[in-house]
Structure 1
Amino acid sequence: MSDYLDVTKSLRHKIEAGDPVIGTFVKTPSPHIIEILGGTGLDFIVLDAEHAPFDVSSLDQCILAARSVNLPALVRIPNKTPDSILRVLDLGASGIIVPHIQSADDANNIVSASRYDGAGRGFSASQRAAGYGTQNAWSYTARSDESTIIIGQIEDTKGVENAASIAASDGLSGILIGPADLANSLNEKQFGGPKVTKAIDQICDSFRDSKTALGIFVSDPENIADQLNKGISFFTVSTDQALLRKAVTETSATFRKISD
């Protein structure tokens, strides 16, 4: 437990310092996938409980696998409710990614639900995150608050409009920009279209002097250089499924070229 909290705390410091870090979304609820990714050099993974078939049991197994290989595992939860936040943090996740942050109140509420000290996270010492009752309760709560990574997503027009007030709120480690949902919210049917680009630039301007780091989803690492120049520093690149499909497609094409 303590080693994993240290690993998580190190990642939190990197994100909040604006150091470039890379992860990927995991959409396949399999602990074997997590174990494999633990040896690939990624800084973190995101278990996608919003858009993939993760239930509590599969999250439990995948977080256990991530802890076994010291790979920080964030969970993108499906909503902003305190019970969703509590559940994944008690399972021992390194942190949360919360969709559709549209206001400073949204940001403040998810921070409160994720913190013990003077905040709203319910306490139990019997779960995995607290070492199944083996940790000193108050030492654990303090260390948990120091290490837990809290990231909100701006992916709606309201979030863009309120980006400055979100940037002024306290307690978030980062904001992850969601280009796909932004495109949908802006009624622009291309992820890199001019409306989306303008919205991303507006978010970047709002967070330029903020203590909250900015991240973004990109489908290809070749797109990272332009984002770094905008002040974006943490990246979720592709998904486990897309990376698998790309590797197998390339392998099949190479075979066909040689054998035909």
Structure 2
Amino acid sequence: MMRISTMVKPRTNTVRAGLAEGRLLAGPVMQVASPELIEMAGAAGFDFVWIDCEHGAFHLETAVHMLRAADAVGLTALVRVPDQTPSLIMRVLDAGAQGVVVPNVSDGAQAQAVVDAARYRQDGGSGRRGACPGTRASWHQTEDWPAFSRQANADVLVWVLIESPAAVRNIDEILQVPHLDGVALGPFDLAHDMGFPGEVDHPEVQASLDEVVNRAQERGVEVIASLFSPDPQGMARERARWAARGIRLFSIGSDRRLIVRAMRERRAAIGTDPEGT
């Protein structure tokens, strides 16, 4: 198929480029149905956004508008799908996401199915992503299909969330899956499943996370760490602790948390004394 000349700017996977340059990369989790917040994340200088279709109260139609906003400000956008259904993974990638974050992956077979759903079958590989040239990802049938499909396979990011004791037990078989790009630590769910609700710093939870990090680094698989500190100073300390262990990707919290914290700080600054004393 001949490529038609367009004015569309090609997408660049800034996460892959940043990792290749040895940089530390960070991005927020976007749970509010707002393309403008995506633009704000780009204006703030973040490297990626993680559009949360699992816990965010919106559907694919809204996610597409958020993906458009990410394109406009040059952000690499991943979508956290609600579950491991292959058709959901394929649809968000066809919509223009440059990667997926898949929840509650607990063994190697699930990880393999996730990777296969995100990749086109080529050169005898095991990809199972449906081949359709007329998608937003391929700029509505204006891309040369062979070139596009190969570039899509090279660029797509597949991150799986490790958020259960079963996933920790099976981490070696998960990490053995070819083309798995990263394991995202899910300490909140993990703590809950381990019987320590909300205690992400519990020693047993931290020991499980340490095991995942150690195994991933042995395999050369990137780890995405979640930063939970409520203030910038604490977050910087968290980031430094993880970075000292070789972690280069950081989720810095949700847009909801960031907005509410800013509102509380402004409210506290105003105070309640009408005379300001």
Q: TM-score, normalised by structure 2?
A: 0.88
**Larger RCO (CA under 8 A, 6+ residues apart):** 1
Q: From the two aligned structures, give the one with the greater helix fraction.
A: 1
For the residue of structure 2 that corresponds to 1:130, the secondary structure is coil
| 1:38 equivalent in structure 2 | 42
Structure 1 contact 15–173 (Cα < 8 Å) conserved: no
Find 1:5's aligned residue among 3, 11, 16: 11
Distance in structure 1 (CA, Å) of the matches to 2:142 and 2:176? 38
Q: Which residue in the other structure is 2:144 paired with?
A: 136
Q: How far apart, in 1, do the equivalents of 2:78 and 2:215 lie?
A: 25
Distance, in Å, in 1 between the alignment partners of 2:201 and 2:8 is: 42
Distance in structure 1 (CA, Å) of the matches to 2:134 and 2:268 = 51
Tell me the residue number matched to 1:153: 161
Distance 2:96 2:178 in 1: 23
What are the Cα deviations for residues 27-65 of structure 1, in whole angstroms up to 9, with x where unaligned?
101111111211001111111101111201111111111
Shift in Å, 1:193: 0.4
Q: TM-score, normalised by structure 1?
A: 0.93
User: How many pairs align?
Assistant: 258
1:14 CA drift (Å): 3.4
Within 5 A, what are the aligned runs for 1:173-192? Answer: 173-189=181-197, 190-192=199-201
Q: Which amino acid letter does the alignment assign opposite residue 126 of structure 1?
A: G
1:255 and 2:261 are equivalent in the alignment: no
State whether structure 2 residue 98 is matched by structure 1 residue 94: yes
Q: Rg bigger for which structure?
A: 2
Partner of 1:203: 212
Match of 2:247 in 1: 232
Residue 107 of structure 1: CA displacement? 1.4
- The whole-number CA distance in structure 1 between the counterparts of 2:10 and 2:144 is 16
Gaps of 5+ in 1: none
CA RMSD in angstroms comes to 1.8
The alpha carbon displacement at 1:218 in A equals 1.6
- Structure 1 residue 211 displacement after superposition: 2.3
Per-residue displacement from partner, 1:215-235 (whole Å, max 9, x unpaired)?
A: 121223232222222332211
Distance 1:13 1:206 in 2: 24
- Contact 2:81 2:88 (8 Å CA) reproduced: yes
1:73 corresponds in structure 2 to 77
CA contact (8 A) 2:29 2:251 kept: yes
For the structure 1 residues 251 and 186, does the alpha-carbon distance in structure 2 shift closer, same or farther, using more than 3 Å as the test?
A: same
166-175 or 135-144, which deviates more? 166-175
